[in-house]
Every structure is written in C-alpha cells, then in structure tokens.
Amino acid sequence: MCVSLGNVTPGAIGPAAGSQARILLVEDDPEAALFAITVLAKRGPFEVTHVADPAVALRLAAAGGWDLVLTDVEMPGMTGLELLDALRRIAPALPVVVITSHVNLRTAALLRRADEFLTKPVRIDQLLATATALIGRAAGAAGAVGQQERAAGAAGQQEPATGQ
C-alpha cells in the first residue's frame, strides 16, 4: 500500500502481528521512487512511505513506527550518508539501506553503520530480499530483547529462596 500526502507518500521496529512492515523511502528521483514503491508495495508485504526531502524523513523517523529506511545518497539539502548519521543518533536499531549508483560510496556507508548497500540499478529480487531480511532480522532482535526483559521481570517477581 502507498498513499500520498503532499510531499510525503505514507506507508517500533518489527511489524505488529498481521500488519504490513512499514518502509520509509527517501528518494528525490521520481522514477527511482516509483520503481521502489512498485516493487515493495505491490510485490512485497510492505507499506511504503515516500519522501523526497531527507529533513522530512528525519522528522518522520524520529516519530517512530518504521521497520526499515531506504535512502538514496545524492539529494538536495542533506545527503543520504548525513541522514544515516542522524538516524543512527535517534534510532540506532532501525535498519537503514543506502542505495546509490556510486559504488565507491559503499565503504563510507558501511563505516557509518548502514545495514546494507545496494547499487543502482537495483534488481527487483535484490530489493525484496534485502528488505525482507533486514526487517525479519530487526523483528527477531526486538523479540529477543523482549523475551530477555520478560524473563528478567519474572525472575525479579519470584520469591527468594529461604534456605530452610
């Protein structure tokens, strides 16, 4: 599903049971955005929100509720790598994929802790597989943390042994 709100096209880490995963797509090229939206929203089980402005994307990401961010690198006002840096400060566990035609930026993106780097033109199967894997991994990690927290809470509620 994909809905448009002016300059924004909408779509906690890990989707709720029975819901679509939410992807924030940050891309200033309308054709590249249309391709990603078509692939992810129509062929995959994803709700895609598209924004062309990285500053808007940062505000949306700060509000939470996203399972994945896909960002281009070359955009006006803020690069995708600068957006990645800001996302790591506000939502360190949120998976981020950097997509660009400049393969020489791979190392810079990965050093800035991008979860994945894809080179344009992106293949349909590669885009779907990457989104699915990263969302699944993040949901699994969030579930493991929740299990640890529940176990710690249950252990704290147990009666202490009296030794008698």
Provide the 3-class DSSP secondary structure of residue 54.
helix
What does the DSSP 8-state code read for residue 122?
P
What does the DSSP 8-state code read for residue 92?
T
d(CA 123, CA 104) in angstroms, rounded, equals: 19
pLDDT digits 0-9 by tens, 54-90: 999 999 999 999 999 999 999 999 999 999 999 999 9
pLDDT digits 0-9 by tens, 125-161: 999 999 999 999 988 876 544 444 444 444 444 444 4
Provide the 3-class DSSP secondary structure of residue 45.
coil
Name the strand (E) or helix (H) holding 134: helix 124-157
Alpha carbon distance, N-terminus to C-terminus of the chain: 62
Predicted structure pTM score: 0.78
The domains of the chain, with CATH numbers, are 8-13+20-141 (3.40.50.2300)
